[in-house]
Amino acid sequence: MPTSPFAQLIVMGVSGSGKTTLGQELAAYYGCPFLDADDLHTPDAKAKMARGEGLTDADRAPWLARLRDALDEHAAGGVVLACSALKASYRAVLCGPQTGFVYLNVPHDVLRSRLEARQGSYAKVSLLPSQLAALEEPAPDEAITVQVGADETPDLVLADALRQLDGKRGG
């Protein structure tokens, strides 16, 4: 089974970017656990976001600490986490030894369309403006960036991510 160039791989981006889909695919490919950061939000945070209200840094601090603890629990065997990781300061909390980031960069119109079609999630299109306002795109040396257009299939996104991750080996 192939191994990731990072022990902890974080798939990041705004709501609707495809973090969970890619994260699950990468975890399956590398044979390691998958964690979804959404599962560690409190009911109050989910309710706030369902109302279209973005979380504040104070709202996110305990959540980020829970995520860091979850990453640490899987440090030895590898793990893939799907997490918005919108700000550099959030990524700094999440970053441990051997942590890599994959940023899904998706055009706003594609994000809007995906979120409008989404069923059963607290993250609806009303949350998109606050997500985009909070987003601090990672620098090229901080993350690999996968450009995701309207016509990209999950298989194409996975292939691009794996190609770029493979290029990180030894580098």
More reliable by pLDDT, 21 or 47: 21
Q: pLDDT, tens digit, for every residue of 22-68?
A: 999 999 999 999 999 989 988 888 888 777 777 788 988 999 999 99
Q: If DSSP states are collapsed to H, E and C, what string results for the chain?
A: CCCCCCCEEEEECCCCCCHHHHHHHHHHHHCCCEEEHHHHCCHHHHHHHHCCCCCCHHHHHHHHHHHHHHHHHCCCCCEEEECCCCCHHHHHHHCCCCEEEEEEECCHHHHHHHHHHCCCCCCCHHHHHHHHHHCCCCCCCCCEEEECCCCCCHHHHHHHHHHHHHHCCCC
Structure confidence at residue 67 (pLDDT): 94
Range 94-109 average pLDDT: 92
Q: pLDDT, tens digit, for every residue of 114-167?
A: 777 666 555 556 677 878 888 999 999 999 999 998 888 999 999 999 999 988
Please state the domain extents for the chain: 8-164
Q: What residues contact 140, with CB distance under 8 A and at least 6 apart? A: none
What is the homologous superfamily of the domain 8-164 according to CATH?
P-loop containing nucleotide triphosphate hydrolases (3.40.50.300)
pLDDT for residue 171 is more than 60 = no
Structure confidence at residue 133 (pLDDT): 86
Structure confidence at residue 169 (pLDDT): 61
Structure confidence at residue 96 (pLDDT): 85
Q: How confident is the model at residue 111 (pLDDT cuts 50, 70, 90)?
A: confident
